[in-house]
Amino acid sequence: MIFVSHDRHFISHLATAVLEVKGGYARYLPGDYEYYLGKAAKAADADAASAHAPVEQRAASAVQKERVEEKRLKSELRALEKEESLLMQRLEELETERLSIEESMSRPEVYANGERMKELRGEHEKNHGRHTEAMEKWEELDGRTRQAREKMANLRTDAGTH
Protein backbone atom coordinates (compact mmCIF):
# COMPACT_ATOMS: atom_id res chain seq x y z
CA MET A 1 0.00 0.00 0.00
CA ILE A 2 1.26 3.53 -0.80
CA PHE A 3 0.20 6.57 1.17
CA VAL A 4 1.25 10.20 1.22
CA SER A 5 1.15 12.13 4.44
CA HIS A 6 2.70 15.02 6.32
CA ASP A 7 1.65 13.52 9.66
CA ARG A 8 4.87 12.09 11.12
CA HIS A 9 3.06 10.14 13.84
CA PHE A 10 0.82 8.46 11.26
CA ILE A 11 3.81 7.62 9.02
CA SER A 12 5.98 6.25 11.84
CA HIS A 13 3.20 3.79 12.90
CA LEU A 14 2.30 2.48 9.44
CA ALA A 15 5.30 2.77 7.08
CA THR A 16 7.42 -0.32 6.33
CA ALA A 17 9.37 1.46 3.55
CA VAL A 18 9.77 5.01 2.33
CA LEU A 19 9.88 6.30 -1.22
CA GLU A 20 11.46 9.75 -1.08
CA VAL A 21 10.79 12.00 -4.07
CA LYS A 22 13.14 14.98 -4.06
CA GLY A 23 14.84 17.14 -6.67
CA GLY A 24 13.32 15.22 -9.55
CA TYR A 25 14.61 11.87 -8.25
CA ALA A 26 13.05 9.05 -6.27
CA ARG A 27 14.88 6.97 -3.66
CA TYR A 28 13.44 3.78 -2.15
CA LEU A 29 14.44 2.96 1.41
CA PRO A 30 13.17 -0.25 2.98
CA GLY A 31 12.55 0.15 6.71
CA ASP A 32 10.36 2.22 8.95
CA TYR A 33 10.14 5.98 9.13
CA GLU A 34 12.78 6.24 11.90
CA TYR A 35 15.24 4.34 9.67
CA TYR A 36 14.46 6.77 6.84
CA LEU A 37 15.05 9.79 9.12
CA GLY A 38 18.45 8.38 10.16
CA LYS A 39 19.48 7.80 6.54
CA ALA A 40 18.25 11.26 5.54
CA ALA A 41 20.27 12.87 8.37
CA LYS A 42 23.43 10.98 7.31
CA ALA A 43 22.84 12.00 3.69
CA ALA A 44 22.41 15.64 4.76
CA ASP A 45 25.66 15.46 6.77
CA ALA A 46 27.44 13.92 3.79
CA ASP A 47 26.04 16.63 1.49
CA ALA A 48 27.18 19.33 3.91
CA ALA A 49 30.66 17.77 4.12
CA SER A 50 30.93 17.46 0.36
CA ALA A 51 29.76 21.06 -0.03
CA HIS A 52 32.73 22.16 2.10
CA ALA A 53 35.20 19.75 0.52
CA PRO A 54 35.42 21.55 -2.82
CA VAL A 55 36.28 24.81 -1.03
CA GLU A 56 39.01 23.04 0.93
CA GLN A 57 40.17 21.26 -2.21
CA ARG A 58 40.23 24.55 -4.09
CA ALA A 59 42.23 26.14 -1.28
CA ALA A 60 44.66 23.21 -1.25
CA SER A 61 44.82 23.33 -5.03
CA ALA A 62 45.56 27.06 -4.96
CA VAL A 63 48.36 26.52 -2.41
CA GLN A 64 49.72 23.69 -4.53
CA LYS A 65 49.61 25.88 -7.65
CA GLU A 66 51.45 28.63 -5.77
CA ARG A 67 54.15 26.15 -4.71
CA VAL A 68 54.52 24.85 -8.25
CA GLU A 69 54.71 28.42 -9.58
CA GLU A 70 57.26 29.37 -6.91
CA LYS A 71 59.36 26.33 -7.80
CA ARG A 72 59.15 27.19 -11.51
CA LEU A 73 60.12 30.81 -10.84
CA LYS A 74 63.07 29.77 -8.67
CA SER A 75 64.28 27.45 -11.41
CA GLU A 76 63.84 30.17 -14.03
CA LEU A 77 65.66 32.67 -11.81
CA ARG A 78 68.59 30.28 -11.25
CA ALA A 79 68.88 29.70 -15.02
CA LEU A 80 68.74 33.45 -15.70
CA GLU A 81 71.36 34.19 -13.04
CA LYS A 82 73.65 31.49 -14.44
CA GLU A 83 73.23 32.85 -17.96
CA GLU A 84 73.89 36.36 -16.64
CA SER A 85 77.06 35.20 -14.91
CA LEU A 86 78.35 33.56 -18.11
CA LEU A 87 77.47 36.65 -20.09
CA MET A 88 79.34 38.88 -17.64
CA GLN A 89 82.39 36.64 -18.02
CA ARG A 90 82.08 36.97 -21.80
CA LEU A 91 81.86 40.76 -21.51
CA GLU A 92 85.03 40.80 -19.38
CA GLU A 93 86.82 38.62 -21.97
CA LEU A 94 85.73 40.99 -24.75
CA GLU A 95 86.91 43.98 -22.72
CA THR A 96 90.30 42.33 -22.12
CA GLU A 97 90.53 41.51 -25.83
CA ARG A 98 89.65 45.11 -26.77
CA LEU A 99 92.30 46.50 -24.45
CA SER A 100 94.88 44.12 -25.94
CA ILE A 101 93.97 45.19 -29.48
CA GLU A 102 94.14 48.88 -28.55
CA GLU A 103 97.47 48.35 -26.82
CA SER A 104 98.83 46.67 -29.97
CA MET A 105 97.47 49.49 -32.12
CA SER A 106 99.26 52.08 -29.96
CA ARG A 107 102.75 50.61 -30.53
CA PRO A 108 104.74 52.73 -33.02
CA GLU A 109 105.98 49.73 -35.03
CA VAL A 110 102.38 48.45 -35.49
CA TYR A 111 101.06 51.95 -36.20
CA ALA A 112 103.68 52.31 -38.95
CA ASN A 113 102.58 48.99 -40.54
CA GLY A 114 99.46 49.87 -42.52
CA GLU A 115 98.50 46.24 -43.25
CA ARG A 116 98.75 45.24 -39.56
CA MET A 117 96.74 48.32 -38.50
CA LYS A 118 94.04 47.39 -40.99
CA GLU A 119 93.85 43.86 -39.47
CA LEU A 120 93.72 45.25 -35.93
CA ARG A 121 91.05 47.78 -36.88
CA GLY A 122 88.97 44.90 -38.30
CA GLU A 123 89.46 42.89 -35.09
CA HIS A 124 88.58 45.97 -33.03
CA GLU A 125 85.35 46.48 -35.00
CA LYS A 126 84.41 42.79 -34.64
CA ASN A 127 85.16 42.99 -30.93
CA HIS A 128 83.04 46.12 -30.64
CA GLY A 129 80.16 44.40 -32.49
CA ARG A 130 80.34 41.31 -30.24
CA HIS A 131 80.52 43.55 -27.16
CA THR A 132 77.47 45.52 -28.32
CA GLU A 133 75.51 42.29 -28.95
CA ALA A 134 76.51 40.94 -25.54
CA MET A 135 75.47 44.19 -23.83
CA GLU A 136 72.08 44.12 -25.57
CA LYS A 137 71.63 40.50 -24.50
CA TRP A 138 72.65 41.41 -20.95
CA GLU A 139 70.10 44.26 -20.85
CA GLU A 140 67.35 41.90 -22.07
CA LEU A 141 68.47 39.25 -19.58
CA ASP A 142 68.58 41.80 -16.76
CA GLY A 143 64.97 42.79 -17.55
CA ARG A 144 63.83 39.16 -17.51
CA THR A 145 65.69 38.57 -14.23
CA ARG A 146 64.01 41.62 -12.65
CA GLN A 147 60.60 40.41 -13.84
CA ALA A 148 61.19 36.94 -12.36
CA ARG A 149 62.27 38.50 -9.04
CA GLU A 150 59.18 40.73 -9.01
CA LYS A 151 56.94 37.73 -9.70
CA MET A 152 58.61 35.88 -6.80
CA ALA A 153 58.08 38.85 -4.50
CA ASN A 154 54.44 39.16 -5.60
CA LEU A 155 53.90 35.44 -5.13
CA ARG A 156 55.25 35.66 -1.58
CA THR A 157 53.14 38.76 -0.90
CA ASP A 158 50.02 37.08 -2.27
CA ALA A 159 50.76 33.88 -0.33
CA GLY A 160 51.05 35.94 2.84
CA THR A 161 47.52 37.29 2.38
CA HIS A 162 45.89 33.82 2.24
Global model pTM greater than 0.75: no
Phi, psi angle pair for 11, to nearest 5°: -65, -45
What percent of the chain has a predicted confidence (pLDDT) above 90? 48
How many domains is the chain partitioned into structurally? 1
- The per-residue pLDDT for range 69-107, each reduced to its tens digit, is 899 999 999 999 999 999 999 999 999 999 999 999 999
Identify whether 140 is part of a domain: yes
With H, G, I as helix, E, B as strand and everything else as coil, classify residue 159. helix
Q: What residues pair up with 17 in beta bridges, in sequence order?
A: 30
For residue 67, tell me if it sits in a domain.
yes
Average pLDDT on 6-34 reads 80
**Residue 138 within any structural domain of the chain:** yes
Q: Which domain holds residue 14?
A: 8-160
Domain-located, residue 2? no
Residue 49 has pLDDT above 70, yes or no: no
Nearest to 135 by CA among 102, 99, 92, 101: 92
Domain assignment present for 1: no
Specify the pLDDT at position 54.
Answer: 61
pLDDT value for 107: 95
Using CA atoms, how far apart are residues 56 and 1, in angstroms rounded to an integer?
A: 45
Vertex 55: Cα angle to 52 and 59 (nearest 5)? 140
Q: Give the chain's end-to-end CA distance (angstroms, integer).
A: 57
What DSSP element (H or E) covers 7? Answer: none
In a domain, 38, yes or no: yes
- Is there a domain that residue 3 lies in? no
Distance CA 63, CA 51 (A): 20
Res 66: pLDDT: 86
Please check whether residue 20 lies inside any domain of the structure. Answer: yes
Q: Per-residue pLDDT tens for 27-39?
A: 777 878 887 788 8
Q: What contacts 110, CB < 8 A, 6 or more positions away?
A: 104, 116, 117, 120
CA 156-161-78 angle, to 5 degrees, is 10
d(CA 39, CA 48): 14
Compute the average pLDDT of residues 19-44: 79
